[in-house]
Amino acid sequence: MQTEEKQGIIIVAAAYVLWGFMPIFWKMLSHVSSDEILAGRVIWSFVFTLLLVVIGRNYKQLVMDIQELWKDQKAFWSLVLASYLITGNWFIFIFAVNAGYIVQTSLGYYINPLLSVVLGIVFLKEKLSRAQVLSVIIAAIGVLILSISYGQVPWISFSLAISFAFYGLIKKTLKVDALRGLTIETFFVLPVALIYFAYLVATEKAVFFSTDFMTVVLLLFTGVATAVPLILFAKGTKSIPLYLSGFIQYIAPTLMLLVGVFIYKEQFSKIEFLSFSFIWCALILFTVSKIIEVRKRKQHVGKV
């Protein structure tokens, strides 16, 4: 059992490391417009995930998943909504990275888990301890400091955090296999992506057919870059506790922050450091309180 948990930790950590270094991949495509990258990402993600489903001989199960979803109209349209939320999240992320806002993207993914907690309280009637309530307040102060220093709300961070938090909330209520689920999600957005890509080709705005070989390869690999971390994450989380995967997830925004500051020389002023410090403290307080809560529950169960 411990070996399984260790393997799970390694696999989940690998997923978050890949996500953390993802800005480097998107920067290599900075000469391609964000909308073309997004259309290609949807198309090639669908092709790649469908190929994996076929190789794994799960295509009958995929058809059954779609049929089961269609029987439950609420679940079906919820997944359609989730599909467009994650597609919007992808677009904002690609745009932000290539426009030089990697630090803001990292802030978005630091805010995300705390926002997910708020959504859990509102929609799933989950309860928080005093320490967890305090952690949300501390994080809110950090975001407020940053908003005042910018003179505006950091919309990139909030757009990423809100879209991903609502996506996570919807996915939590649906029981669909990760790989087949991603195939279905990209299938829902595929018609829009194909129509838009056809428009780009018709208006001669598409780079795909008139660029160098390396750019074509990178565009094709957007499907792999999207699917592989998600599949690793889904596989790894099955054998580790939820609070542990929650703690490991901070690897991604931390790496994004380091990539933005040290590789692409983005600004990280004293005010930004102060704001991030509040959020880091909030995350540490929240995670530690969660670990204590889980251990107390285990001890109580053990006594019973």
Q: In whole angstroms, what is the distance from residue 65 CA to residue 56 CA? A: 15
- Phi-psi region at 100: left, alpha or beta (left = phi > 0; alpha = psi -120 to 50): left
| Rounded alpha-carbon distances, angstroms, from residue 41 to 125, 224, 291, 298 | 35, 9, 37, 43
Token pair, residue 27, equals 């920067």
pTM: 0.86
Distance of CA 39 to the CA centre of its chain: 18
Q: What is the mean pLDDT of residues 42-46?
A: 95
Which of the four pLDDT bands, split at 50, 70 and 90, describes residue 294?
confident
For tokens 């480097």, name the residue: 24
CB 83 within 8 A of CB 188: yes
Residue with tokens 């799960």: 58
Residue 39: count other Cβ atoms within 10 Å of its Cβ: 28
- Provide CB contacts within 8 A for 281, sequence distance 6+: 138
Counting residues of the chain whose pLDDT is more than 70, the rounded percentage is 95
d(CA 177, CA 18): 21
The per-residue pLDDT for range 114-143, each reduced to its tens digit, is 787 778 778 877 777 788 889 888 988 988
Structure tokens at 136: 């949300």
Of 27-31, 47-51, 173-177, 210-214, give the lowest mean pLDDT range. 173-177
| 178 vs 191, more confident | 191
Counting Cα atoms < 13 Å in the Cβ hemisphere of 155 gives 4
- Give the pLDDT band (50/70/90) at residue 246: low
The mean predicted confidence, pLDDT, of the chain is: 87
Average confidence (pLDDT) over 173-182: 83
Give CA–CA dist 150/204, Å, rounded: 38
Q: With the CA atoms of 157, 165, 245 and 16 taken in that order, what torsion angle do they form, in degrees rounded to the nearest 10? A: -40
Angle at 110 between CA 38 and CA 75, to 5 degrees: 55
Instruction: Provide the pLDDT for residue 24.
Output: 96
Indicate the range of 159-168, 185-194, 287-296 predicted with least confidence.
287-296
Instruction: Express each pLDDT in 75-93 by its tens digit.
Output: 999 999 999 999 999 999 9
